[in-house]
Amino acid sequence: MGIYKAQNGTWFVNKSWTNEQGIRKYKTKRGFKTKGAAKEYELLLLNQIASGIDIFNNPIFVDYFDQWVKTYKGTLQDPRGSIRPNTLREYLLDSKRIHQGFGQTKLKQINRLRYQNFINEFGSNHSKSTVTKLHNHIRACVNTAIEDGLITKNFTQGIVLNYNPDKKRKTTYLEDHQIKQLLHYLIQHRNPASSGSYMIITILYTGLRESEAAGLTWDCIDFDNLTLTINKSWDYKAKTYGPTKNLASNRIIGISQKLATLLQELQGNHPTKVFWSKSHQTLPQSHSLINTLRHVLKKLNIDAPGVHIHSLRHSQVALLLNANINLYDIAQRLGHSEINTTQKFMPMNLRNIRL
């Protein structure tokens, strides 16, 4: 048993061995043009057998990734653990990217060179954060494939993450006086039947994430003790409630009497949802919020082309820092699990502040 020459002039490998369970296994591979190519394959086969690799199981890479996501991350209908629907959607999007990059390529046929080329091509049209997330997801999947005995080498190891710097979203942060102008205008021109401006006001006052604000229900607000309980978020795509971003995001924060009074004006719109828009019969959508925000900034002659709803959380940090609030307290208020995350929200001239 070993290397043989076929009648058509090609070479083939015929190998048999006994596995750890004492079961006889057979492997035949045909079509080698030279005896040297057949010997090279035989050596690879012997190394894989010695390493405990399952040489009979060689799934298509994207199929293995999909099964890995389903097993360890769950599905949109049945997520594993505390994984958020939006995070799970990122894995599902990565599956499409893997399919586009590798097609029907099998797991054992992918090496570092092929994977580096995939990253180079993908990164040419994507930002650093997008490339990094995709790579981290694939790397975790490949680590599992190694543990499963499907491959021996991690083809994601030592990869250079190339990306397009022009794809980074440019963010504009508002100055203190601009925040005050924005708040004053929104409050003066508010309309309880259209709750979008109220939601922006709340984000400015509290630093809530957009999904956290949309997820507020009336039982989250304690008007007597002036507190907000953040215990869920709104999933815009599924149109239902979901978990917060992480455990640290489940929190109780204080609010001002002024904000509490403004929120009470919305109580007639919906029995449970705080920011239900009576005029549109829905919760404010992201595009409508950003349109409202940019319309008001234009009215105020504030040049902030890169401003978006999430950047208003940065504004909350600036306001709290100017009020001499401790950075640890700010992190808790914003629902950050690490202080380093809060520091990234700080204005550049204050990022070296000592704790």
pLDDT of 250-265, one tens digit each?
899 899 999 999 999 9
- Domain assignment present for residue 243? The answer is yes
Within this chain, do residues 113 and 21 fall inside the same structural domain, yes or no?
no
* Band (351; pLDDT cuts 50, 70, 90): very low
| pLDDT confidence of residue 350 | 38
Report the predicted TM-score, pTM, of the whole model to 2 decimal places. 0.66
Average pLDDT over residues 229-238: 90
Task: Say if residue 342's pLDDT is above 70.
Answer: no
Domain boundaries, position 269? 176-350
Within this chain, do residues 85 and 185 fall inside the same structural domain, yes or no?
no
- Domain assignment present for residue 257? The answer is yes
Average pLDDT over residues 278-294: 93
Within this chain, do residues 209 and 344 fall inside the same structural domain, yes or no?
yes
| pLDDT confidence of residue 104 | 95
The secondary element (H helix, E strand) that includes residue 213 is helix 210-214
Q: Which residue has the tokens 């045909």?
A: 30
HSE-CB of 239 using CA atoms within 13 angstroms: 5
- Domain assignment present for residue 55? The answer is no
pLDDT in tens, 203-223: 999 889 899 999 999 999 999
What total number of domains does the chain contain?
Answer: 3
Task: Give me the residues paired with residue 192 across strands.
Answer: none
- Domain assignment present for residue 277? The answer is yes
Within this chain, do residues 187 and 284 fall inside the same structural domain, yes or no?
yes
Domain's final residue, options 138, 167, 196: 167
For all residues of the chain together, what is the average pLDDT? Answer: 85
Task: Say if residue 355's pLDDT is above 60.
Answer: no
Distance between CA 286 and CA 309 in Å, rounded?
A: 8
| pLDDT confidence of residue 127 | 92
Within this chain, do residues 201 and 295 fall inside the same structural domain, yes or no?
yes
Residue 233: strand, helix, or coil? strand
pLDDT in tens, 65-123: 999 999 999 888 887 776 778 888 999 999 999 999 999 999 989 999 999 999 999 99
Task: Say if residue 1's pLDDT is above 90.
Answer: no
- Domain assignment present for residue 289? The answer is yes
Q: CA separation (Å) from 291 to 175, 308, 311?
A: 20, 9, 14
Within this chain, do residues 85 and 34 fall inside the same structural domain, yes or no?
no
| pLDDT confidence of residue 156 | 97
Task: Say if residue 354's pLDDT is above 50.
Answer: no
Higher pLDDT among residues 301 and 333, named by residue:
301
Within this chain, do residues 97 and 33 fall inside the same structural domain, yes or no?
no
Ranges of beta strands (E only) in 120-173 are: none
Nearest Cα neighbor of 235 from 76, 347, 354 is: 76
| pLDDT confidence of residue 19 | 66
- Domain assignment present for residue 121? The answer is yes
Within this chain, do residues 145 and 219 fall inside the same structural domain, yes or no?
no
* Band (333; pLDDT cuts 50, 70, 90): confident
- Domain assignment present for residue 235? The answer is yes
Within this chain, do residues 108 and 198 fall inside the same structural domain, yes or no?
no
Within this chain, do residues 228 and 94 fall inside the same structural domain, yes or no?
no
Task: Say if residue 52's pLDDT is above 70.
Answer: no
Task: Say if residue 348's pLDDT is above 70.
Answer: no
* Band (349; pLDDT cuts 50, 70, 90): very low
Tokens of 84: 């958020």
CATH of the domain at 129: 1.10.150.130
Distance between CA 313 and CA 336 in Å, rounded?
A: 11
| pLDDT confidence of residue 164 | 92
Distance between CA 76 and CA 170 in Å, rounded?
A: 31
Higher pLDDT among residues 272 and 169, named by residue:
272
Within this chain, do residues 207 and 70 fall inside the same structural domain, yes or no?
no
| pLDDT confidence of residue 234 | 92
Average pLDDT over residues 129-152: 91
Distance between CA 180 and CA 201 in Å, rounded?
A: 11
Tell me which amino acid residue 220 is.
C
Domain's final residue, options 167, 193, 226: 167
Residue 282: strand, helix, or coil? strand
* Band (302; pLDDT cuts 50, 70, 90): very high
Nearest Cα neighbor of 17 from 47, 58, 57 is: 47
- Domain assignment present for residue 229? The answer is yes
| pLDDT confidence of residue 276 | 96
